Amino acid sequence: MKVIKNVFFWFMLCNSFLLSINKVRGGSQCDCHAEFTWIKNTFEKNDAGFAYILKEKGQKAYDLHTEEIMNMAKTAKNKADCINLIYRWFKFFRKGHLGIVDLKEEPQPVQIVEADENRIKKHERLTLKENELNRLLDKQAEPSPIGIWESAPYKVGIVPTDSGYTGVVLDAPGTPWKKGQVKFKLYKNGENYRATIWLRNFTARENLSVEFIGNNIIHIDGMAFFVRKSKAFQDTPLVKSYISYLYSNGPYFEQISDKAVYVRIPSFDMSNKRSIDSVLGVNHEKIIHTPNLIIDLRNNGGGSDDAYSSLVPYLYTNPIRTVGVELLSTELNNAALLTLSKDTLYDERSRKEFKEIYDKLNLNLGKYVRVKENMISIDSMDRILPFPQKVAILINEYCGSTTEQFLLEAKQSAKVKLYGKSTYGSLDISNMHHVDSPSGEFQLWYCRSKSYRIPEMAIDNVGLQPDYYLDPSIPQKDWVGFVLENLK
């Protein structure tokens, strides 16, 4: 069976951010008690992980948790409060592969809170003449933050100060900022730098991490990327590659040395399959004649197993064992298979298989159904490619769902080692599906399948460990360089 693990594993990961937005907006009205009752009943009947968690944590714990949320739902004041409660209820089950969408949320206009005149007048200034800055730059033999930088609409000059470096506004069209005002400060923090930056309305954000991406980009975490506009300094090929894929939404390939090729895949979404296959196809000869292959999956939230199939031949050394899943058969869940059987993103053979599974499920309503005869499938290939000899896969805490399934298969190869940080942990309960509430207010996302790996080999809420942990002293931009040295 082709398992479809939806990329929406991050519903629970980012819900705290989304809820903070809703709280600011105040939220519209809804009958939270009725909405929660529908979500509870629908989830209990259709989610493939519900019975498993109930067995693990106990009926009493579940009843107490649900009763508390139900009572609070009776007095919820608005939709934002209701969404908070529902996500609080979700946390009893797992941290990913479930969520809700507000179907009637209206786009909110961006509200720019202007600073009052008094704050603008009092804001710190630093006299900076561009000709003096240029004299500093003329003397600069080695790269440093000193220089002219831009993050539209802000153009700043960065100069050294007693505490570190200060970014001073040179130009900021369309904003209340004036030339000479201090836009940010960089100060030493151990071996690294932290930052204080002032926003458009002159409010401060403090203690932010600072990443120097090569010699010509400064990233102030979550706030801005400043690009050097004065005399640029040469970056290494690895840094240039990092910058290239940093802004790439699709697959990216580069021959980074005579002994290594690099492939960046930001998503295994089924809509990306053709581009993944295309990039690998165009560069196939380079890959199979180069000793080392680096596959960068950082921040890849998953998608569909079909999307990574063309990668497997480059990794393969021995038969790959895959533990299967069982599907919970309900009318609502089975409808998803019928939809997939008509989806032209999949080939004719796959669509036929989906239809056969749909028919089998309909004969077993209310049961968990093993759609394949054997719990374990073993996939073999006719040949082992002599090259690449070694495959390094970069992973981090934002890798989940289908990406974790790919890693389970890749780890079985004698060629493969994982580098980076532990993955997110959202795979055991999978194959997401959604349904709208009767009121049309919400859309519930939940899962239709449960892996036979659990509980002996649970990944949910745990993740997969790398073979080589890349600790915080190794910046993200240097990961590829670290791996290249390690592969030697």
Bridge partners, residue 434, by sequence: 445
Q: Where among 228, 255, 289 does a domain terminate? A: 228
Q: Where among 228, 246, 281 does a domain terminate? A: 228
- Indicate whether 475 and 391 sit together in one domain: yes
Q: What digits encode the pLDDT tens for the residues 383-441?
A: 999 999 999 999 999 999 999 999 999 999 999 999 999 999 999 999 889 999 999 99
- Indicate whether 197 and 259 sit together in one domain: no
Q: How confident is the model at residue 472 (pLDDT cuts 50, 70, 90)?
A: confident
Check if the beta carbon of residue 426 is closer than 8 Å to that of residue 9.
yes
Q: Is 456 a member of any domain? A: no
Q: What digits encode the pLDDT tens for the residues 183-218?
A: 999 998 888 899 999 988 898 999 998 988 889 999
pLDDT > 50? residue 235: yes
Q: How confident is the model at residue 232 (pLDDT cuts 50, 70, 90)?
A: confident
* Reported pTM: 0.77
pLDDT > 90? residue 240: no
For residue 107, the model assigns a pLDDT of 55
- Whole domain around residue 170: which residue ranges? 117-228
- Indicate whether 161 and 289 sit together in one domain: no
Q: Is 354 a member of any domain? A: no
- Indicate whether 70 and 140 sit together in one domain: no
- Indicate whether 206 and 250 sit together in one domain: no
Q: Where among 79, 102, 125 does a domain terminate? A: 102
Mean pLDDT, the chain, rounded, equals 88
- On the 0-12 / 13-18 / 19+ scale of CB atoms within 10 A, 268 is buried
Check if the beta carbon of residue 410 is closer than 8 Å to that of residue 416.
yes
- Indicate whether 224 and 248 sit together in one domain: no
- Indicate whether 222 and 263 sit together in one domain: no
DSSP state of 375: S
Q: Is 336 a member of any domain? A: no
**Higher local confidence (pLDDT), 393 or 12:** 393
- Indicate whether 33 and 151 sit together in one domain: no
- On the 0-12 / 13-18 / 19+ scale of CB atoms within 10 A, 98 is buried
Residue that the structure tokens 């993740």 belong to: 463
pLDDT > 60? residue 17: no
Q: How confident is the model at residue 114 (pLDDT cuts 50, 70, 90)?
A: low
Q: What digits encode the pLDDT tens for the residues 217-229?
A: 999 987 788 999 9
- Indicate whether 281 and 390 sit together in one domain: yes
Q: Is 157 a member of any domain? A: yes
Supply the CATH number for residue 268's domain. 3.90.226.10
- Cβ atoms within 10 A of the Cβ of 448, count? 26
Dihedral angle sign, alpha carbons of residues 410, 422, 87, 105: negative
Q: Is 439 a member of any domain? A: no
For residue 106, the model assigns a pLDDT of 61
The DSSP element (H or E) to which 449 belongs, if any, is strand 442-451
State the DSSP string of 185-251.
EEEEETTEEEEEEE-TTS-EEEEEEEEEETTTEEEETTTEEEEE-SS--PPPHHHHHHHHHHT-SS-
- Indicate whether 191 and 305 sit together in one domain: no
Q: What digits encode the pLDDT tens for the residues 27-78?
A: 467 899 999 999 999 999 999 999 999 999 999 999 999 999 999 999 998 8
pLDDT > 50? residue 21: no
Q: Is 475 a member of any domain? A: yes
- Indicate whether 136 and 79 sit together in one domain: no
Q: How confident is the model at residue 23 (pLDDT cuts 50, 70, 90)?
A: very low
Distant-in-sequence, close-in-space partners of 405: CB < 8 Å, separation ≥ 6: 3, 5, 305, 427
Q: Is 451 a member of any domain? A: no
Q: Is 33 a member of any domain? A: yes
In 3D space, the residue among 354, 317, 352, 314 whose CA is nearest the CA of residue 338 turns out to be: 354
Total count of domains within the chain: 3
For residue 488, the model assigns a pLDDT of 86
- Indicate whether 196 and 288 sit together in one domain: no
